Amino acid sequence: MEPRLPRAAAAPPPPRPAGSAHAWPPARPLTHPVSHRTAALREAAKRPGGAWGRRGAMNRLGRKASETLIEMAPSADDDIAVLTKFKLLQSEGEESNGPLCETLSTAGSEVPSSSEQGLSSTETTLLIPDRQVIDKRHQSKDSIFFRDGVRRIDFVLSYVDDLNKEWEKKLERRKEFESNLQKAGLELETEDKKESEDGKIYFVKIHAPWEVLITYAEVLNIKVPIKENDIPSMVENPLDCMLTPFRLPEKVMHPEPDYFTAPFSKEKQELYLINDESTFFSPSMRNRIVNYILTRCPYGTEEGKKKFGIKRLLNNGTYSAAYPLHDCQYWKKASDPNCDNERYTLYMEWARFLRFYKEQPLDLIRKYYGEKIGIYFAWLGFYTEMLFLAAVVGVICFLYGLFTMDENMSSKEICDPAIGGEIIMCPLCDRECEYWRLNTTCESSEYSHLFDNVATLFFAIFMGIWVTLFLEFWKRRQARLKYEWDLVDFEEEQQQLQLRPEYEAKCTQKKKNPVTQEMEPYLPLTSQAVRFCISGTTVLFWVSLIIASMIAVIVYRLAVYAAFASLMENAQTLQPISGLLTPQLATSVTASCLNFVIIMILNFIYERIAIWITDMEIPRTHMEYENRLTMKMFLFQFVNYYSSCFYVAFFKGKFVGYPGAYTYMFNRWRNEECDPAGCLIELTTQLTIVMAGKQIWGNIQEAIVPWICNWWGRRKARNNPENLYSRWEQDHDLQTFGALGLFYEYLEMVIQFGFITLFVASFPLAPLLALMNNILEIRVDSWKLTTQYRRPVAAKAHSIGVWQEILNGMAILSVVTNAFIVAFTSDMIPRLVYYYAYSESDNSPMSGYINNSLSVFLISDFPERNKPKTNTENFVICRYRDYRYPPDHEKKYLHTMQFWHILAAKLAFIIIMEHVVFIVKFFVAWMIPDVPADVKAKIKREKYLTQKILHEYELEKLKERLGQGDKRATEKEFIATEGRMELSRAM
């Protein structure tokens, strides 16, 4: 029998042209794996009773209908036999599921025998005596290949063979599952538990041979190179030389050559630039293909239902883990020259904090982790770059407030003993609180000016325009990545047509898909309605729970204010800081901290509830699943994180009534009043505590917790020699990134985006805090992904998905919230109205503003419920923050005309600001196209060339068929193909 030879490979791909578009794994000058097998077979054939054996002799005697392919696994000891499996290859006219080759390491093993595994009669098993042990040092344990050193490990399954009551059921599941994996063409190699570091875990290594890869590459519409990219590169910017310190080496930034690509087809293999079958599909593509098979592979029937998918087997404990391998250790290169060492490169150039000022190697991230993770880091990096501009403007506005503090007439009058010291304010709570002098809030009024000044208005308008620029420029950046990463036609192929395995398993009814015209499972409308009702009710319940917790915090603020007021009034130790730490500030800080703790607790519980109800809805596709979960989680966290800020910004101090007619919550607790200098400083305090606390806690969760867990799990392994700690064991001891790992990263950043847009008018330094956090976030995320987590399964994504719509919605809402904050929370509009309409001094227009903004109340008009217990100084009147007529006026305690003037000015300001910002936003969005002109041209050029190449290929095939006398290849078909080529050129 002539051994199978590799088919003719295309010429080696040319070097990567500068500025080209699509990337592809560069061909490595490795020997084709088939050549290794061929040499082993020829060598074995020379020995009597060797690998060819009797069956090989039979084939050499003239058996033409089929051939026998025998896989030999190398061993360190010639005396040790290995389990070798044989398979009769089908003839060319028959269908095949791919090779069923499996090499098992069975030294001292408890792996079931061939008969237990259900092996066919064509398979032969040679068992290894129990007393013989394979020398684990015969091959580098850091290797990512099977023991033959040729076949790459594309996926690893692990399990613990615990002898509990479900042991037999799990064993049967594993037998059936692994048998079906073999029938699908995958090759398996099992590492016995005695060879694992702890002596308890079996590892099943999976390799996808060429036949499987090309089959599923066609199923998944994976695009592969067909021609060198000939589009010239863009003209370099002369200012790029200034960015040299921030650049990474070209090999790191662009690790792959660039080509025009087309979806893979088994019938047109010679069309593609295949130089080496072992490296043609990158490791991320290979593990994506294997994961696709694993998620759909059946393992039996239970309770009358067909069961399938590795996810179910992981959930029921049949397997303990399933993961692809990292290619090497992150702190040093692999000893195997065939390893790419991309993990090491990512760690050295990207995942270390000392590289925080360097650009991200997005192409390498995409190649190693897949497009979905690559697009996240591209978005996070772009968001961080845009934050730099917002942070600079925010710092300038803050410095303006800092430098003009001494010019603030309002704080001067409050701090002046002759003005603020003589103004007696009404008590801030009933009975327990006393009358107080206005100058006791001197320090807080001065600090309030840092954020409540003219620059606040400018910054609110600027951020409304900034968020539009950010979203529009991101669309352009995303469109460029979409083209460069070959994702232009991805959405329909991948996200809309592929069903989730869970959907296929749970939906027993079927109907014809109008797109594919094939029968597929579906969920009846009545079942969908019931599930959505349950889901919606659950979400509303938890949102109501958040609102209830916020009300509880408000009650806490109302209840403890009197206690703080009494404590600070009587405690002599607090006298030195009584001016800075007022009862209002103490209440606000403690309430904010309490609110943050409640937020974290509710988040922890709701995350699990949201996943449960989303699973219950049984979404049809992975995209639908992520979108539904995203909306549930975002809605919850939006209310959870922002409700307290909305309360302080828009409700606190707005519905307090006036002395003698206060409004009460639940007819018991008197509503809070704002500081005479305004509520903006309290909103700033609330925003700072929640935002900073969330970022600090998030970094602890993301970095420290995984590190501690991994350190705890590696304690014993570190005591063993490195060559006894295999690559699959090292990765097994790492944390699992999980299918929702990226979802939580997006959610964290989008919540942060809300803090710096919805309430930024109250805190111009919020973008600076976000910028510093994100610089750290990029390196923390890259560090944990590269060093602390198993390699995630590669997945495709052409955009940030539903998060784009959420960001757009928040951008529009931010204009409204900031307009209301400037109008109703800050004191800017009342001051402007006083400046232009009520000022009595030409030399100092703002003098007298504080006295004008405080109304007079006659203390004798206090009801018994409100009157303080003591009035030692026999005050007759007290002042309160409002615009009402004095007690001696005929319209006693009614609102003055100035109140209505200010209200009209506030409403007019909101309308004007919103319209101005929205007009600018829409004009900017209209001016900036979503797709750059050069990218549009490249997409058209690539489509044209791809069609041309495919048409020329079909024309050549027709010519060959006509030359060979194929009756099916008619002359009319030839003419039609030529006509299609001409039409393509014309278009």
Q: What b-and-e string marks burial along 474-498, b requiring 16 or more CB atoms within 10 Å of the CB?
A: bbebbbbbbbbbbbbebbebbbeee
Residue 6 pLDDT greater than 80, yes or no: no
Supply the mean pLDDT for the chain: 77
CA atoms within 13 A on the CB side of 106: 21
Cβ burial, residue 756 (10 Å; 0-12/13-18/19+)? buried
**Cα–Cα distance, 547 to 549 (Å, whole number):** 5
With CA atoms as reference, report the closest residue to 460 among 515, 390, 516. Answer: 390
Residue 622 pLDDT greater than 90, yes or no: no
Cα distances (Å, whole numbers) of residue 393 to 164, 456, 463, 865: 64, 11, 9, 49
What local confidence, expressed as pLDDT, does residue 13 receive?
Answer: 41
Reported confidence tier of residue 176, pLDDT bands at 50, 70, 90: very high
Q: Residues 423, 441: contact at Cβ < 8 Å?
A: no
CA angle (695, 696, 702) in 5-degree steps: 85
pLDDT in tens, 125-170: 333 333 333 344 456 667 889 988 889 999 999 998 877 777 888 8
What local confidence, expressed as pLDDT, does residue 787 receive?
Answer: 92
**Cα–Cα distance, 420 to 799 (Å, whole number):** 57
What local confidence, expressed as pLDDT, does residue 38 receive?
Answer: 39
User: 525-570 and 622-650 are packed helices; what angle lies between their axes, rounded to 10 degrees?
Assistant: 30
pLDDT in tens, 916-928: 989 988 898 888 8
Q: What b-and-e string marks burial along 639-665, b requiring 16 or more CB atoms within 10 Å of the CB?
A: bbbbbbbbbbbbebbeebebbbebeee
Which whole number is the average pLDDT over 186-192? Answer: 92
Q: Are strands 510-512 and 436-437 parallel, antiparallel or unpaired?
A: unpaired
**Cα–Cα distance, 72 to 44 (Å, whole number):** 9
Residue 116 vs residue 571, higher pLDDT: 571
Contacts 24+ apart (CB under 8 A), 838-842: 838/898
pLDDT in tens, 190-240: 988 888 777 788 999 999 999 999 999 988 888 888 877 777 666 566 666
Report the share of the chain in percent with pLDDT over 90: 25
Helix H or strand E encompassing 158? strand 155-160
With CA atoms as reference, report the closest residue to 876 among 892, 888, 890. Answer: 888
Q: Residues 866, 660: contact at Cβ < 8 Å?
A: yes
Cα distances (Å, whole numbers) of residue 256 to 16, 367, 368, 376, 485: 7, 9, 11, 20, 11
CA angle (857, 860, 864) in 5-degree steps: 105
* Residue 738 backbone zone (phi > 0: left; psi -120 to 50: alpha; other: beta): left
pLDDT in tens, 942-987: 888 888 888 888 788 777 777 776 555 555 555 554 554 554 454 4
Helix H or strand E encompassing 512? strand 510-512
Cα distances (Å, whole numbers) of residue 294 to 116, 222, 313, 587, 740: 22, 18, 10, 56, 19
Mean pLDDT lowest for which of 23-37, 275-289, 760-774? 23-37
**Cα–Cα distance, 817 to 646 (Å, whole number):** 9
Residue 55 vs residue 174, higher pLDDT: 174
Residue 35 vs residue 891, higher pLDDT: 891
Q: Are strands 321-323 and 854-858 parallel, antiparallel or unpaired?
A: unpaired
**Cα–Cα distance, 125 to 856 (Å, whole number):** 100
> What is the SS3 string spanning 600-660?
HHHHHHHHHHHHHHHHHHCCCCHHHHHHHHHHHHHHHHHHHHHHHHHHHHHCCCCCCEECC
**Cα–Cα distance, 724 to 406 (Å, whole number):** 70
Q: Are strands 86-89 and 67-70 parallel, antiparallel or unpaired?
A: antiparallel
Reported confidence tier of residue 637, pLDDT bands at 50, 70, 90: confident
How does DSSP classify residue 582? -
Which whole number is the average pLDDT over 779-800? Answer: 91
**Cα–Cα distance, 651 to 551 (Å, whole number):** 12
What local confidence, expressed as pLDDT, does residue 571 receive?
Answer: 46
Residue 114 pLDDT greater than 70, yes or no: no
What local confidence, expressed as pLDDT, does residue 400 receive?
Answer: 93
Cβ burial, residue 716 (10 Å; 0-12/13-18/19+)? exposed
Which whole number is the average pLDDT over 369-384? Answer: 94
Tell me the helix, strand and coil percentages in the chain, rounded to 5. 55, 10, 35
